[in-house]
Amino acid sequence: MIRIIVNSEMYAYDMYHITKAFCPGVQIEQKVEKEQTNLVEIKIDDDVLMISENEIKEVEDRKLKKRRVNICLYKWLKKVTGKELAWGIMTGVRPTKPIMSLMEKGLSDEAVAAWMQENYQITEEKAKLGIEVAKKEKSLLDQLDYENGYSIYIGIPFCPTTCSYCSF
């Protein structure tokens, strides 16, 4: 059994789903204890991860705090389990969303891939796949008339595999 204790709902979803992705089939007990001093405390057998506020105190943005905590968890689980997740910490995020945002800022494919690998811990292969799909998506979106037309979102899974943690 795995025990997860977080001091805020802000961390609960990601901690559970990232852990579940590394340890499918293992029972996970999770609770929010607002009075707990650590942001996150996770116990798998004799291994314990504790993430304190001090580890992210210099980060002010809420999204960046969550991502930093998620990366700490990911790296710890990777070490404890010996596994790696192709899509890293991307749970509940359309992979092309951050990729498209970076492309619109003018970053090269190589810079986008490196950023995604560092900030979401995805593999190089998935970074390249995400960029390829984002480019296709952009070419289709460029054909739309945003001023006078309509916008619709259609989710189409593009990954050739189905991971246990994926909602796409």
Segment 50-101, tens digit of pLDDT: 999 888 889 889 899 999 999 999 999 999 999 999 999 998 778 899 999 9
- Taking the C-alpha atoms of residue 116 and residue 111, their distance in angstroms, rounded to an integer, is 9
Q: Is the pLDDT of residue 41 over 90?
A: yes
Distant-in-sequence, close-in-space partners of 105: CB < 8 Å, separation ≥ 6: none
Considering the chain, what is the average pLDDT of its residues?
89
pLDDT of residue 146: 65
